[in-house]
Amino acid sequence: MLTPETIAIVKSTAPVLAEHGELLTRHFYTRMFTHNPEVLPFFNPTNQHKGSQQRALAGAIAAYAANIDNLGVLMGAVELIAQKHASLMIKPEHYPIVGANLLASIREVLGTAATDDIINAWAQAYGFLADILTKREAEIYADNSEAAGGWEGFRKFRLIRKETESLNIVSLYLQPADGLQLKTFKPGQYVTVRVTLPNGMTTMRNYSLSDKPGMDWYRISVKREKATVQSAPDGYVSNHLHDHFHIGDEVEIAPPCGEFCLDASKADKPLVLMAGGVGITPLISILKNALELDPQREILFIHACVDEEMQAFRQKLHSIEATHPNVRVHSRYSDRDHGTDDTKSFGLLSEEFLDAQISNRGADFYFCGPKPFMQIVYGVLKNWNIPTDQVHFEFFGPVQDLEAQPLSNAA
């Protein structure tokens, strides 16, 4: 356990870390990749380039410092991190690398303000957190390897089917190359795909499983990632899977992970599922599984995207709606006016729009999508005082980022 002195010192640094968090984490990643390039395959270069990884880590450090005397409030974040680490095969031997570079970065960025007492306190605090994470990650590895059809590490899968879902999304149906049993998963979870780069190094990406559990394949639906700024490259893995991954080809996949999952204990409770763009992938799995648990379940599915051509699973959603009277699907298009009717509308997402669509505030809410979409939905549900146990979402970054956007609109 941490001593009261350590807790007091770490808490006293929270304001400084909040102020200089991104400077510290940018320095940290640059330092670690220079001193320990062997960890590069664990990180997404696009997230590094955009700064989202640095912001997420800065938020996590600040939250840990502020709540180190009440870690119960951070258990949700700890579970998210442990699941992400297990998906990437982070092991106990990686923690000393991160710890050494983090402590060195604190000293190098803060200078003389980083006294020996502060460095020693953070060393103890980091070690305490690392112990919590490695124990939970060991449980996840054990659960994945001991389950029927389970495994640990990476397993080769073969592409058996490839379907175009929209202008920029393709679905890949993957079966174990060894022909053995396939582990089931929780709807909403993701797998990690590992590919080899032209320079011989490997890189990994997480992709949500977009079909219901219990099939003899895993389906992932991959959005082609184009560079958002001129200095950044197109997404290597997504473009490789779109253009150069063909029927019969093999790829390495880690076991399913993730804590953004349908709560099966509430099978009779109304659902509101809200997706932004490719954020539909885990939600289509949740939708299918929810209807297997209770075909009569009341479900509203809202999909916000650019237009019909960019909308994945549009026909599949309406086919589900046609066979389930209690399911209602609404498409919200931001770019082109396709006219409006009961199933679609044109405009940006807003509280007024959501208020008109959502009549049952006692439902469970699940949502996933790009940051502006998430900010609007999160802000609306908070404004409606929806209890936290009814709100479920997947977001890369600190929750504080979701509270930074007005409720007016989102792309």
What pLDDT does 408 receive?
Answer: 47
The fraction of the chain above a pLDDT of 90, given in percent, is 72
What pLDDT does 198 receive?
Answer: 85
The partner residues of 276 in beta bridges, in order of sequence, read: 304
pLDDT tens profile 99-140: 999 999 999 999 998 999 999 999 999 999 999 999 999 999
What pLDDT does 123 receive?
Answer: 95
DSSP string covering 112-162 = GGS-HHHHHHHHHHHHHHHHHHHHHHHHHHHHHHHSTT--SS-EEEEEEEE
Q: How confident is the model at residue 366 (pLDDT cuts 50, 70, 90)?
A: very high
Q: Which fold has domain 264-403?
A: Rossmann fold (3.40.50)
- For the domain covering 4-146, report its CATH number: 1.10.490.10
Beta-strand pair 250-253/155-164? antiparallel
Catalytic residue (choose from 5, 38, 64, 137): 137
**Residues 159, 175: Cα–Cα separation, whole Å:** 7
The mean pLDDT of the chain is: 90
pLDDT tens profile 241-260: 999 999 999 999 999 999 99
Out of 72-76, 223-227, 405-409, pick the least confident. Answer: 405-409
What does the pLDDT average to over 321-336?
Answer: 92
What does the pLDDT average to over 280-285?
Answer: 97
Instruction: Indicate where the chain has its CATH 2.40.30.10 domain(s).
Output: 155-253
**Who has greater pLDDT, 348 or 364?**
364
Whether 95 is catalytic is yes
409 pLDDT above the threshold of 50: no
What pLDDT does 398 receive?
Answer: 56
**CB atoms closer than 10 angstroms to residue 267:** 14
What pLDDT does 339 receive?
Answer: 60
- For the domain covering 155-253, report its CATH number: 2.40.30.10
Q: Which of 11, 6, 21, 16 has the alpha carbon at shortest distance from 117? A: 6
Instruction: Indicate where the chain has its CATH 1.10.490.10 domain(s).
Output: 4-146
What pLDDT does 400 receive?
Answer: 60
Binding-site residue ranges: 85, 190, 205-208, 277-282, 395-398
**Residues 220, 281: Cα–Cα separation, whole Å:** 8
Instruction: Read off φ and ψ for residue 66, nearest 5 degrees.
Output: -75, -25
91 pLDDT above the threshold of 60: yes
What does the pLDDT average to over 253-277?
Answer: 94
pLDDT tens profile 198-217: 888 889 999 999 999 999 99
Catalytic residue (choose from 64, 95, 141, 378): 95
| Inter-residue contact 54 to 22 (CB < 8 Å) | yes
Binding-site residue ranges for FAD: 190, 205-208, 395-398
Residue with tokens 């099978």: 267
Burial of 81 (0-12, 13-18, 19+ CB in 10 A): buried
pTM: 0.91
pLDDT tens profile 37-83: 999 888 877 777 777 788 888 888 888 888 888 888 788 888 989 99
| Inter-residue contact 99 to 127 (CB < 8 Å) | yes
Whether 137 is catalytic is yes
Binding-site residue ranges for NADP(+): 277-282
406 pLDDT above the threshold of 60: no
